[in-house]
Amino acid sequence: MNLRQMDLNLFVVFDTIYRERHLTRAAEQLAITQPGISNALNRLRQRFDDPLFVRMGRTMVPTPVAEGMIAPVRQALRQLDGCIAGARTFDPASAEKTFTISMPVLDSVAILPRLMTRLAETAPGVRLKCLRIPRKQVVRQLSDGLVDLATDVDQLAGPPLMQARLMQVRYMAVMRPDHPMADREMTLDRYLASRHIIVSHRVSGASHVEAALSRLGHRQNSVLRLQSYHEAFEVVGTTDMVLAAPDSLLPGRGFATRQLPFPVDPLPMALYWHSRADADPANRWLRNMILGVA
C-alpha cells in the first residue's frame, strides 16, 4: 500500500464506524450521506483486503484486522489533531523556541532589558537571537524566513512586509559632566560652534539631526562620524565634543544633557514582519510582547 495514494479521511471514517458500530450513526457523526459512508467503507475494504466490519443484526462488528488497526489509527489521528491544534495556538509557558530578530542598538537598549525580564517570567523556554542586519537586507531576510521580526526606522513599509509603530526616538545634546558648556545655556550659536560627533548606521548621507539642521539652513561642525553609540559615548566622555543621542540610551551614563536648541522631530521606529507570518500564533505572541514593553 502506498500512503501517498491513500485518502487519510478514510481513517477518520474507520475510527467513527468502529466507535459507533453502525453505518447510519457514523454517517450522522461525520455529516455525510449513507451512500458516502458505505463507499468509504468499501474503499477501506479494498485497501486492506479485509471486510473490516461485518454485520451482525443491526451492529457492525470489527474483524480481527480492524481490531489490530484501531489503536495505531487512533494514535495517528491524535497526533494529527495535535499538529493542527499546535499550528493554531502557542503556549509560551511550555514552548521551547528560538526567535531571530534584527534589532539596532537603540532599540535593543530600550527594549531588551524589560523584554527579557518578561520572557523569564512567562516563557522560560523561549530564546532570542538578536542581529544587526543592514537595512537593505532586512526585507530579504524576513522573506526567506531567516529573521522572524525586525525593528528599524519607519521607512520599510509595503508588501510583503507588515508593520506596527514601536516607539519614537527623541534626541538630546550630550557632553561630559565638566564640559565648558555643561553649566551654560545651550544656544543655537553655541551648539553650531561646538565640535560634533555624528552617529549613523548608514555609510553616507545626513543623520536625522543633521537633516533637521539642514532644513533650517545650518550645518554643524561634524568632525567624527561613527556607526555605533558605544564608541561615541567613549569619545564624548573624554573630549569637549558634543553628541546628539537618543534619550533612551542615556540613563545611568552620567553625562550632562541639554535640550537641542532647534526642533528635531522624534524618529519613528517600527516593528516589521513578513505577511506570511501575520497569522502565526508564535510570531503574533512575540510581536505583542515587544510592543507591550516598548
Region 175-198 average pLDDT: 93
| CATH at 46 | 1.10.10.10
Residues 150 and 216 in one domain: no
Question: Band of the pLDDT at 104, cuts 50, 70, 90?
Answer: confident
Q: Which of 28, 57, 88 is the last residue of a domain?
A: 88
**What are the tens digits of pLDDT across the range 31-56?**
899 899 999 999 999 999 999 999 99
What pLDDT shows up at residue 107? 75
CATH number of the domain bearing residue 180 = 3.40.190.10
Q: 11-20, 198-207, 245-254: which range is least confident on average? A: 198-207
The mean per-residue pLDDT over the stretch 198-217 comes to 88
Domain boundaries, position 112: 97-168+269-293
Domain count, the chain: 3
Same domain (yes/no): 259, 178: yes
Structure confidence by residue, pLDDT tens digits, 268-287:
889 999 988 888 899 999 99
Convert the chain into a string of H (helix), E (strand) and C (coil). CCHHHCCCHHHHHHHHHHHHCCHHHHHHHHCCCHHHHHHHHHHHHHHHCCCCEEEECCEEEECHHHHHHHHHHHHHHHHHHHHHHHHHCCCCCCCCEEEEEECCHHHHHHHHHHHHHHHHHHCCCEEEEEECCCHHHHHHHHHCCCCCEEEEECCCCCCCEEEEEEEEECEEEEECCCCCCCCCCCCHHHHHHCEEEEECCCCCCCCHHHHHHHHCCCCCEEEEEECCHHHHHHHHCCCCCEEEEEHHHCCCCCCEEECCCCCCCCEEEEEEEEHHHCCCHHHHHHHHHHHHHC
What's the pLDDT score for residue 85? 57
Q: Are 12 and 80 within one domain?
A: yes
Note the pLDDT of residue 105. Answer: 73
Confidence band (pLDDT; 50, 70, 90) for 1?
Answer: low
Q: Are residues 163 and 179 located together in one domain of the fold?
A: no
Question: Do 21 and 76 belong to one domain?
Answer: yes
Whole-number average pLDDT of the chain: 89
Q: Does residue 34 sit in the same domain as residue 155? A: no
